[in-house]
Amino acid sequence: MSGNEAWKAFTLPEPSPAADERFMREAMALAREAAAEGEVPVGAVVVRAGEIVGRGRNRRERDKTALAHAELEAIEDACRTLGGWRLWQCVLYVTLEPCPMCAGAAINARIPRVVYGASDPKAGSCGSLVNLFSLPYNHHPAVTSGVLGEECAALLREFFRSLRPR
Ligand SMILES: [Zn+2]
């Protein structure tokens, strides 16, 4: 079977709420690791056939770069694990709605489905400010929003509250 035929023959596993919550909890664990190091708590995992193949978390402070978002690290990790840049069999789970950079990365990586927790009214680009996945790019990931959304939002609230002087 050529690569093109393999693409056509492949179907993602049916979305399952239980699996979505399980992988969102993995992303939340990474978000907590970020918070423990003083980073805004955002975590992400890339899953292929029920298995985590990429992990990432926000590292902007440590790496001193605006590009160190959780999703980019998870996508990079998955590409390394799978030995290629096309993540067309993978689902991206992230605790916060992707920004335009990360939504763009999901499109570029050909990720067919993105699942996020909390909405982001300031930068969310999968439905909040704009929905990049509905624009006529060459690839349109499906989106599931609000998976453990309240718990993911609480992680962020707690973090910012802890920064405020008492
Ligand atoms: Zn981002």
Q: 3-state DSSP call for residue 70?
A: helix
What does pTM read for this prediction? 0.93
Cα 20 to Cα 32: distance, rounded to the nearest angstrom: 18
Which residues are near ligand 1, the ion (C-beta closer than 5 Å)? 69, 99, 101-102
Lookup result for tokens 């909390």: 118
Instruction: Quick: pLDDT tens for 100-112.
Output: 999 999 999 999 9
How confident is the model over 29-80, as pLDDT tens digits? 999 999 999 999 999 999 999 999 999 999 999 999 999 999 999 999 999 9
* DSSP letters for 80-134: HHHTSS--TTEEEEEEE---HHHHHHHHHTT-SEEEEEE--TTT-TBTTS-BGGG
CA of 18 relative to ligand 1 center, distance in Å: 25
Residue 59 CA to residue 159 CA, distance in Å, equals: 15
